[in-house]
Amino acid sequence: MSADTTLLRVDSLVCRFGGLLAVDHLDMEVAEGAIHALIGPNGAGKSTVINLVTGVYRPTAGTVSFRGERLAGELPSTIARRGVARTFQTIRIWRQMSLLENVMVGFQCRTRSNLVDVLLASRRSRADESATRRKAFEALELVGLEAGAGRLAGSLSYGQQRLLELARAIATQPSLLLLDEPAAGMNPQEAGALVELLFRIRRQGIAILLIEHNMRLVMRVAERITVLSFGRKIAEGSPAEVRSDPGVIKAYLGQSEENAAA
């Protein structure tokens, strides 16, 4: 199902925090429209990779390229506008705004109207507002949160908040979606629904790079899996290949709780 164009490419990426080597010469490629999973025991550096790709951290060495162009020292907002969206491991929705407003913020970077337009209530700003509202609602519908779109985001349950973050990221019209443990805290029923949602997202042409500990979900959804341990890649391939890789099994022996739950 994956196309042959590379969307995201990470070359020999290194990230060092003082004495700690969080990412150790990582090479990875995410293809256009693919669902790619990044797994590994806790502390393996997976979230760091997302932070490096989205510009939150600066790499110590190595490069990140998106659609063939280097993302060198760009602001996270610039990278987001290029089409790379993300969710956070610790949920960072804006609790004081409504569901709809949260997601509208995601889309509005795609609108052109500025302060002058707003102050003069120009046609462009009014058109942008209704388009933003519409697109935001569509994103909420995609994740199933459209009912009560006017509620305060802080009133949602934990799982709903995760979905809201997902909707918000989708609203930015990305080509690549980086999800940091989207299934955390979900029961099997919810996780199953998430799998369907991920396929729906992929059908819209959005590639997904997902960090997850829920192995059952990963095996069902991912076409390609990269395994990290202590910041370095120890295996990569299809789910079947990775599942039977001895290095992977060894790395996970100390993390048996998570696997048993999946």
Partner 1 sequence: MARTWRITLAAAGLILVLSLPALVESSYQLRLANVIGIYLLLVLGLNFILGYAGQLSFAQVGFFGIGSYAAAILTTDHGLSFWIGLLAAAAVSGLSALLIGIPTLKLRGHYFAFGTFAFGEVVRLLAVNWDTLTHGASGLSGIPAPAIGGFRFDTDASFYYLVVFFALLGIAVSARVERSKIGRAMFAIRESELAAEAMGIRTRQSKQTAFTLSAVFAGIAGALYAPLNTVISPDVFSFDVSVVVLVSLLLGGSGIITGAVLGTVLIVLLPEWLRFLDQYYMMIYGAGVVLLMVFMPQGLMGLMENLRVRRARAHAARAEAAPAGVGERTDRVAP
Partner 2 sequence: MYQLVVNGLTMGCIYALIAFGFILIYNAVGAVNFAQGDLVMVGSYFGVLAVGLFGLDPFGAMVVVIAGSAAAGYVFQRLAYYPLRDGPTINVVISCLGAGIFLRNAAQNVAGPEPYTMKPFFGAELVELSGLAIPSQSIFVVVLTVILFAVQYWFFFRTSLGRMLRATANDKYAARLAGIPVRRMIALAFVISSVMAGMAGFVLVPIFLASPNMGFGLVVKAWIGVVIGGFGSVPGAIVGGILVGLLETFTASLISSDYKDVITMLVLLAVLFLRPQGIFSEPVQEKV
| Contact residues for partner 2, defined by CB under 8 A | 17-18, 47, 51, 56-57, 88
Rule CB under 8 A: say whether 189 interacts with partner 1.
yes
Least Cα distance to 199 among 142, 147, 242, 160 occurs for 142
18 phi, psi to nearest 5 deg? 60, -115
Least Cα distance to 50 among 87, 105, 94 occurs for 87
Interacting residue with partner 1 among 13, 15, 197, 210 (CB under 8 A)? 197
Question: What's the closest the beta carbon of residue 248 comes to partner 1, in angstroms?
Answer: 29
Q: What span, in angstroms and rounded, lies between the C-alpha atoms of 176 and 165? A: 15
Q: What span, in angstroms and rounded, lies between the C-alpha atoms of 164 and 127? A: 24
- Return the residues of window 95-124 that contact partner 1 according to CB under 8 A: 95-97, 101, 104-106, 108-111, 113, 115, 118-119, 121
Q: What span, in angstroms and rounded, lies between the C-alpha atoms of 257 and 262? A: 9
The encoded tokens of residue 9 equal: 């490419």
Interacting residue with partner 1 among 73, 157, 254, 256 (CB under 8 A)? 157
181 binds, options partner 2, partner 1, none, Cβ within 5 to 8 A by partner type = none
93 binds, options partner 1, partner 2, none, Cβ within 5 to 8 A by partner type = partner 1
Rule CB under 8 A: say whether 53 interacts with partner 1.
no
Least Cα distance to 56 among 70, 40, 42, 74 occurs for 74
Q: What span, in angstroms and rounded, lies between the C-alpha atoms of 23 and 48? A: 7
Rule CB under 8 A: say whether 208 interacts with partner 1.
no
Least Cα distance to 190 among 146, 150, 147, 144 occurs for 144
Nearest to partner 1 of 41, 55 (CB atom)? 55
Binding footprint of partner 1 on the chain (CB under 8 A): 54, 56, 75-77, 80-81, 85-86, 88, 92-97, 101, 104-106, 108-111, 113, 115, 118-119, 121, 125, 128-129, 132, 143-145, 147-148, 151-152, 155-163, 168-169, 172, 186-187, 189-190, 193-194, 197
